[in-house]
A and B are shown apart, each in its own frame.
Chain A
Amino acid sequence: MQFGSRRRKIINSAQTELYGHSVQFYGQPPLENISLTEFETFAVERLKLLKTVETLGVSFVKHSEQYSKKLESEFKNLNFPYRPETDDRKIQTGPSEFEKRRKDHISHFILRLAYCQTEDLRRWFIQQEVDLFRYRFNDLPPKQKLEFLHRNNLQYDTISVEEKKALQDKLVNSSYAVSGITVEDQDFYKVPFQDALDLVRTRKVYLKAGYVYIPHQDIVTIVLNDFRTRLSKALALTARSLPAVHSDERLQPLLNHLSHAYVGQDYSIQKNVGKISLDQIDSLSGKSFPLCMRQLHQALRENHHLRHGGRMQYGLFLKGIGLSLEQALQFWRSEFIRGKVDADKFDKAYAYSIRHMFGKEGKRTDYTPYSCMKVILSNPPSQGDHHGCPFRHSDPELLKQKLQVYKVSPSGISQILELVKGMHYQLACQKYFELTHNIEDSSFSLNHPNQYFVESQKVLGGGKDIKRETDPQQRSQENATTRASTAAQDTAAKDVAEMTEDLDSFFQDG
């Protein structure tokens, strides 16, 4: 990106050409001068858009009606270009289509600068941009799709009519989108399977000898793959030229601030280390643990073992609520040696990974507790695993039974199951929170198991609810943690008294 001084006039004509299509491949960086205020608004608004993409992707099925609707309204709110046909009519209200496209273009490149710095940031940025692109591309009418391919020089190999005939059965059975009749009318593209991973992963395409046969209807996959590869390469390149940008003292703080905005609360900051004693865990697990952690705790107590996925999810959560390394080692050891693992084996085979979690081994990263999104989306549980999100990874029948055992009211259970059915797992969990804490409407939006714990402690700590600050996100979150730790202190005494009683009910639950 250049911030050199060029004449606006000359650029304008080039820009009109650049913005000939409502969806862009972002091949060329913007070359004009913009004010710092505009720079900031553009960036913040695109970030908002990407955050929406992320949240919607978790709460709704991608490309379901609701998903599209919500995303559409976000596009409108933030004035990003979205459906091309509407331009002519709506040109009077709000910014022109050109303005919107320009904003789309420039804001994308600003965020590239902010999000090229680390592997994590890049991954997040690419993921959201790809989802965004997919939505917009899918929304184009067929003619415009072709035009887009043409404009961006995207050409793919099609298969011959004979080959199509020979493979007809297999092609029909490989995709929901194709029937016997449409095979003949449709072009099929043959590309290496590496270029259409999303279709391969979900088995939605015919695969033969390393090549996938993609019906024209699904061409978005290959285009997306191109988009992803190019963006990934471009980010790597941008990262290299970053020092030059960083020398500009006006931009550097702005960019850093932007890149920090995506992560949300970081629960690895351990403000409350040592505020929790090991004896408290049983009682806390019944009262203040989200269902996923309660399930893991119970499985651990029953089997005296958890597999790797479970140890990571639960271990990091415990770290987040304030277990110190020494406590964690003691906790896991005492449980494991009750099972098939003797102390010696524990020290050799498991202690390492616990120290690793606390950043004391290997590359010494202080790992952050998993967020709901991570629990729901990555590493689904398989045979022998107890981790994952109970609302996402349990049979509804089993979930129902479990909730019954935990004394959730029948009407509450059906509300929860309804949310699960609509794939609103986090909302289901929040409902579970409200029901088990006897509050009507919780004032937070749940996205982290440790947040669940903090909020629960707040409620149980009794009326310590300070009005939430809305503005600078970071600060309010830090406050939340401190508040939580004081709340935890307050409840500590009370907990001990209730513990025996709770333990009993806990074992009955099992």
Chain B
Amino acid sequence: MDMSQYLDIFLEESEENIQRLNEDLLELEKDPENHDIVNSIFRAAHTLKGMAGSMGFERIADLTHKMENILDKIRNGELRVNSNIVTTLFKCVDKLEEMIDNIRNEGIEDADVDDIIEELKKIENSDSYEDNKKSQLVFELNEYDKDLIIKAKEKNYNVYKVKVTIYKDSVLKSARAFLVYKTLEEMGEIIKTVPSTEDLEQENFDNQFYVIVITQKNKEEIKGKVEGISEIEGVEVEALQENVHEESNQIKEEKEEIKLEKQIEKEEDKSTKKVHQSVRVDLERLDKFMNLVGELVIHRTRLEQISKDFKSQELHETLEQVGRITTDLQDLVMKVRMLPIEKVFNRFPRMVRDLAKELGKEVELIIKGEDTELDRTVIDEIGEPLVHLLRNAIDHGIETPEERIKQGKSAKGTVKLIAYQEGNKAVIKVEDDGKGIDINKIKKKAEQLGINTEGMTEHDIKNLIFLQGFSTSEKVTDISGRGVGMDVVKTKITSLGGSIEVISELGKGTAFIIRLPLTLSIIQALLVKVAEETFAISLGFIDRVIKIKLNEVKVSNNKEVIIYRDSVIPIVRLAQRLNLPEIDSDEKFVVIVKVGEKTVGLLVDSLLGQQEIVIKPIGKLLQNQKEYVGATILGDGLVTLILDVAALI
């Protein structure tokens, strides 16, 4: 039987399952006891196995089979999830991904799976119980505990950490632990045990455990009582000296905020994850469709122009109908091309996890607004710059846990990836609560590069990092710091018609804010005249348009500016900039445009009005004309260039 006809669907579904495996494994790492997740992973692996087997991809089938074995043992409680198992499973998923990629590109799975299968076998045959038990005995207090301790101390209670060691050969250790628990509980309030009470109850501990107790009794009384229980090898009672006073409140608030956010996210999850009925459409057809609608818009505009000359009521009414329908059609095709940014965000949790592990940092990634929709061209292109920003945030932004604690922050850093729609723009924020940008370092670097930072605002100085060759990192790592990064990010985003800026506070963190147009093909534009030429400017950039007398243009710092409503706005003479003859007239118009936080006035001769235009690429020959993003055909058939505002200012 020829299976090649199923290859596409096989590849697509395999990818979906691999994505699910990645997501589930991340969850499992956070919540190792959750059997629902194990089951979900099992199902994904099982589906992959079945599909690969039918397609004759033996290695994938073999690898997923071995994964199943381990997952099965976990389900049956024969194995306990530990970081080693999760890491190995991640490796398997990587391997599967590699094989799927190879199948897509070369038609064969071709990858060496022997090593990984060996590793899986080792896990399968090992009893992970032992090292798991040991690894669990890490004593750590969370913010909630700390807060309780502080409150107890304020009320003059004693807070003791009681370390209890039971005879190694004791049986019914859980009951023994419970006896200790009960004894301590009679003397005060227990706020925490390590391992957790559930683990104690299920005998998931070696022969030692900790109990934190808030009590009015003294050390000796506590020790004496616990020692009064049989089969106890030793009891150590230690007063807790947590210096948690200053940091605790602030951090607690943050934590609560995060918790709240998570909750909201979860709720959102529930509501948005409806089952959609869908049809898969070839992208090429969609592009063609888009193009045709574009043509239709052009001709509609042209028809409207012609109808003005005829002054026929009937024609006018019909055209209005056509106009409405084209607008709807346009909206629809735009929406069809839109994809939720989820597609891009999905791969980040895994990346962040790996990166954090590699760098020995603790990072929590919070993703919000993944259902924000963007044109698929943008979706395809935005991944790379975001990867770069995230890497930067983790490598340069987030400090090591030790350093963070020293700074009074929580050991775990937070990186937020937030997307939302703002007007006709989509905004993506990459925020970290790391060390922030040191403005002095940037100034120094700027000097080296011969940039005069005098008179620049702090904000402007920070935004110098987007210049080429600008890296202030002292050491180049694998991950970032080569100085080719930020300008590439900026170039990419500008080429998508978007803008990027940075806000940062030393010691508190950094936020990159990216603004992107929702769609790239049809825009509202203002048509302006410079000399004899007509140009289009996207309304998305325009703040307002004002009429001025030429003598209102002043010179400050060798730059031409106007003063408008108490703010100084630099002026760009478009005629000069585009090598056109300057028309001698007293009155001119200033189109005030905003790119990010930057505001500039474009000096033009006259205004022609606002219109919907379809962006057409200007072709290879003129591609290096940086001033233009494309061209459009107006209603009267005139070809007009569209100005790239971001490149002009």
A binds B: no
